[in-house]
Amino acid sequence: MNVDTEQAGSEEAAETRAGYVALIGYPNAGKSSLMNRLVEQKLSIVTPFAQTTRERVLGIDSRDGVQMVFVDTPGLVDPRYLLHKAMVHAAVESIREADVLLLLIDAAAEVPEFVDEVMELVRRHPNRIVVANKTDVAPPGRLARVREWARERLDAEAFEVSAETGDRVDALRAVIVERLPVSPFLYPEDDVSSQSVRFFVSEFVRETVFEQYEKEVPYSIAVKVEEFREAADPMYIRATIYVERQSQKAIIIGGGGQAIKRLGSAARQKIEEFVGSPVYLDLWVKVLPRWRKDPLQLQRLGFKLPASEESS
C-alpha cells in the first residue's frame, strides 16, 4: 500500500459526525420522553401535564464517532401571555439552528395544525423527519392518518416510534446519524449536556411541583437556584420558588410547612441521583406578582424573549 492510500484510509477512519437535533411539536407529543430515551438518561422533566417544558434542554449523545446534540423544546402553544411567547420563540429558534429536525406528532391524538410560520420553517428544512410517537397507544387508523398528513403537508414519510417502550428508537437514531454533517465533536465526549447543574436542579424542583400540586399552581411557579455550594458536605443548594400570588405561596408551603417538606424531600432524591452525592436542599417561596407577563422579571429568571418583547 502506498503512502497516499494509507493517509486516505487514516482520514476516513478518523471521520466523525456531529450536529444539533431539534425535537419540536405540540405539548404532550412526547418530546421530552423521546430525548431522554435517545440519550439514555433523564435530562428533560416529564409529567402528564401539557406545557411542562419551558426552555430548551440540551442532551448530548456521543458514541461510535457520532455526537448528537439533542434539543428538547417547549411545546408549540398559541401564546396567551409573554411566557408563552418566550417558549414559542425558543422552539422557532431551535428549528432555524438545527442540523436535523424531528417534528413529533402524537399518534394517539388528532393531527394538529401548526401555524404557518412553523410549517414554512419545517418545509424549508432540508433534514426534516416526521416522527409519529406513542405507537403503543395509537388507536386503529390513526397512524395511517399521520402518514397521510406527512406526505400531503411535508412531502415526508412518518417514522413511527414509541418513546415509552423504546420501540424503533434505535432505528430512528440510525436515520438521524445519516443526516448529520461530517464534523468534529462540538462538545467534550464525556459531556451529557452543555447546561449547568443549577439548571437541572431547578427543573427537578419544578417537576416535583407538577407531581404534588394541582390546578394552576404548577404553571404559576418559577424556580431559581440562588446558592450552590458544591464543596460542602452534603452539597448545599438554596433555591427559591417564585409564585404570582400570596394564596399560591400558602399552598406550596402547606399547613405547618408539611407540603414544602414533602416537596423538598422528593426533589432532593432526584437531585441526589443526578449529581451522585448527598444534598441539602434549602427551599424558599417568594411572591413575584405577574412574573409570567413581565418582560423584566422573565429576563431575570433566564428566559429569552423575542427582540420585539425585550425590556431595556
Please give the average per-residue pLDDT across 9-34, as a whole number.
Answer: 85
Strands (E), 187-310: 222-229, 235-243, 279-287
29-75 pLDDT tens trace? 999 999 999 999 999 999 888 889 999 999 999 999 999 999 999 99
The mean pLDDT of the chain is 93
Is the domain of 143 the same as that of 225? no
93-110 pLDDT tens trace? 999 999 999 999 999 998
Kindly list the distances between the CA atom of residue 32 and the CA atoms of 22, 44, 281, 299, in Å, as whole numbers in the listed order: 11, 5, 25, 24
Is the domain of 173 the same as that of 268? no
Q: Which amino acid is at 3?
A: V
Is the domain of 219 the same as that of 277? yes
Kindly list the distances between the CA atom of residue 154 and the CA atoms of 219, 237, 278, in Å, as whole numbers in the listed order: 33, 47, 49
The answer to whether residue 186 is domain-embedded is no
The answer to whether residue 54 is domain-embedded is yes
Is the domain of 17 the same as that of 77? yes
| Confidence class for position 311, pLDDT limits 50, 70, 90 | low
pLDDT > 90 fraction of the chain, expressed in percent and rounded? 86
Q: Could you tell me whether strands 235-243 and 57-63 are parallel, antiparallel, or unpaired per DSSP bridges?
A: unpaired
For residue 154, pLDDT beyond 60: yes
Is the domain of 230 the same as that of 97? no
Is the domain of 74 the same as that of 219? no
Please give the average per-residue pLDDT across 270-279, as a whole number.
Answer: 96
Please give the average per-residue pLDDT across 103-130, as a whole number.
Answer: 93
Question: Which pLDDT does position 77 carry in this prediction?
Answer: 86
* Strand arrangement of the beta sheet that strand 57-63 belongs to: 57-63, 66-72, 17-25, 100-106, 128-133, 158-160
Domain hosting residue 282, numbered range: 197-309
Is the domain of 152 the same as that of 41? yes
The answer to whether residue 188 is domain-embedded is no
Q: Which of 122, 152, 179 corresponds to the end of one domain?
A: 179
155: which 3 cell numbers?
A: 412531502
Is the domain of 299 the same as that of 210? yes
Which class for 1: exposed (0-12), middle (13-18), buried (19 or more C-beta within 10 A)?
exposed
Is the domain of 124 the same as that of 265? no
For residue 11, pLDDT beyond 70: no
CB 239 within 8 A of CB 285: no
| Confidence class for position 7, pLDDT limits 50, 70, 90 | very low
Torsion of CA 131, 135, 57, 52, to 10 degrees: 120
For residue 124, pLDDT beyond 60: yes
Quote the DSSP letter at residue 157: P
For residue 5, pLDDT beyond 90: no
CB 214 within 8 A of CB 53: no
Please give the average per-residue pLDDT across 72-89, as a whole number.
Answer: 92
Question: Which pLDDT does position 14 carry in this prediction?
Answer: 67
CATH number at residue 38: 3.40.50.300
The answer to whether residue 239 is domain-embedded is yes
Torsion sign (Cα): 283, 286, 288, 290? positive
Is the domain of 20 the same as that of 85? yes
168-219 pLDDT tens trace? 999 999 999 999 999 999 999 999 999 999 999 999 999 999 999 988 899 9
The answer to whether residue 192 is domain-embedded is no
CATH number at residue 218: 3.30.300.20
Q: Could you tell me whether strands 235-243 and 222-229 are parallel, antiparallel, or unpaired per DSSP bridges?
A: antiparallel
Please give the average per-residue pLDDT across 144-150, as a whole number.
Answer: 95
| Confidence class for position 78, pLDDT limits 50, 70, 90 | confident
Is the domain of 167 the same as that of 25? yes
- Distance (Å, rounded) from C-alpha 221 to C-alpha 209? 8
The answer to whether residue 106 is domain-embedded is yes
Domain count, the chain: 2
For residue 162, pLDDT beyond 60: yes
The answer to whether residue 185 is domain-embedded is no
Which helix (DSSP H) or strand (DSSP E) does residue 146 occupy? Answer: helix 142-154
Question: Which pLDDT does position 159 carry in this prediction?
Answer: 97
| Confidence class for position 10, pLDDT limits 50, 70, 90 | very low
Question: Which pLDDT does position 112 carry in this prediction?
Answer: 85
Q: Which of 179, 207, 237 corresponds to the end of one domain?
A: 179
Is the domain of 161 the same as that of 272? no
- Distance (Å, rounded) from C-alpha 209 to C-alpha 186? 34
The answer to whether residue 217 is domain-embedded is yes
DSSP string, 7-58: HHHHHHHT--EEEEEEEEESTTSSHHHHHHHHHTS--S---SSTT---S-EE
